[in-house]
Chain A
Amino acid sequence: MNQKAPDENLYVEQIIELPFTESAGKYISIFLTKIRDEGKIVANKCPVCHRIVLPPRIVCAYCKVEIEDKPENWVELSDKGTVTDCMGIDDREVDAITGEFVGTPNPILFIRLDGGDEWTILGHIAKEMDASKYPPGARVQAVWKPQKERQGKTSDIQFFQLIKE
């Protein structure tokens, strides 16, 4: 590089856009449609080990058997549950390109929904920012978005909030 420096340094602006579309798949589509249209959380039940599989899957990960699409293989879970663990967000992920924060700063709850078994854990965000308010064993309930705003995503549940029982 023995080029002389130019009189002025110029910069080039560029934009890259990658639009993409993905299908949620057969069972996840059922799961998300139930959330969107009925405000219900559904799960699979393995016909061999009777484990409750959440989110629903076509094959049980433990028994490697197909969970067929029969009414007896589907179970409906409550939107109330028990906190098994809570993860406070200390350092938020930053997008390396835009410098913006990714996601929300709310603590993440791992919730065992009523009607499920020890394997049924749903991860979702908590209402309040203070993670110490959600000790293991705390009872929480889902707060749903209004029917019109639901889009068929797990974010149709706004967050989980504490309830007294």
Chain B
Amino acid sequence: MGTVKPIIHSRTRRWKYTRYAGHTGSRFLIELRDNKRIMGTKCPVCHRVYVPARSFCYVCFKSMDEWVEVSNEGTLTAFTMVYQSEPSYPVKTPFAYGIIKVDGADTGFAHIIGEVNPKDLWIGMRVQAVFKDKRVGSILDIDHFKPI
């Protein structure tokens, strides 16, 4: 039948869902929204401080009841640049994205790094949280981290 142009079909699977943040996650997000504070939980056995807050220590398997306030400033421990755009991203590409270990915490969490030239990023850089004016109770109430 000869050659024909291959037929190619494109489809997109899209799942949109809402999940409960949990007891600990809710308290963490409420503190972010109402008081602009980043809170962590401290393990009674190994004294690790988890940020974002978790309900139990995954090393000791102990429930963590002690809440500690940590600093809004921290250290960049890893970073990358994002160029490929996806509809689920909260900001337009390109943007820098990194793992930030805030002062007082023993774990890092990923967030957007803004107000910086990508060439000026380095591991060990000091960064500070910039909060949104209108906060809704989401990790994105921190708009981004900016270099100090």
Contact = CB atoms under 8 A, between A and B. Distances in A.
Interface of A: 1-26, 28-30, 32-33, 42, 69, 71, 74, 97, 152-153
B10 A20 contact: yes
Task: Using C-beta atoms within 8 Å of the partner chain, give the interface range for chain B.
Answer: 35 or more
Nearest to B12: A19
Contacts of B19: 11-12, 14
Given A1-B55, A3-B55, A24-B7, A8 B30 contact: yes
Interface string B8-51: 11111111111111011111011000000000000000000000
A153 B9 CA distance: 9
B132 to A, nearest CB: 16
A12 B33 CA distance: 14
B104 interface: no
Nearest to B10: A21
A24 B5 CA distance: 11
Contacts of A74: 1
A42 to B, nearest CB: 7
Given A3-B24, A3-B63, A9-B26, A15 B6 contact: no
A12 B7 contact: no
A97 B88 CA distance: 17
26 contacts: A2-B63, A3-B27, A3-B55, A5-B23, A7-B27, A7-B30, A9-B21, A10-B20, A10-B25, A10-B137, A11-B18, A11-B20, A12-B18, A13-B16, A14-B19, A16-B13, A17-B14, A17-B88, A19-B10, A19-B12, A23-B7, A29-B5, A33-B4, A33-B5, A69-B1, A152-B7
B30 A12 contact: no
Contacts of A3: 23-24, 27, 55, 63, 65
A154 to B, nearest CB: 11
Contacts of A6: 23, 26-27, 30
A14 B17 contact: yes
Contact of A24 (B6, B16, B18): B6
Closest 3 CB pairs of A and B: A6-B26, A15-B88, A24-B7
Interface of B: 1-2, 4-21, 23-27, 29-30, 55-56, 63, 65, 86-88, 137-138
Contacts of A2: 63, 65
A117 B14 CA distance: 41
Nearest to A44: B1
A13 B23 contact: no
A19 B80 CA distance: 23
B27 to A, nearest CB: 4
B9 A22 contact: yes
A74 B14 CA distance: 39
A18 B12 contact: yes
A10 B7 contact: no
Contact of A21 (B4, B8, B21): B8
A7 B34 CA distance: 12
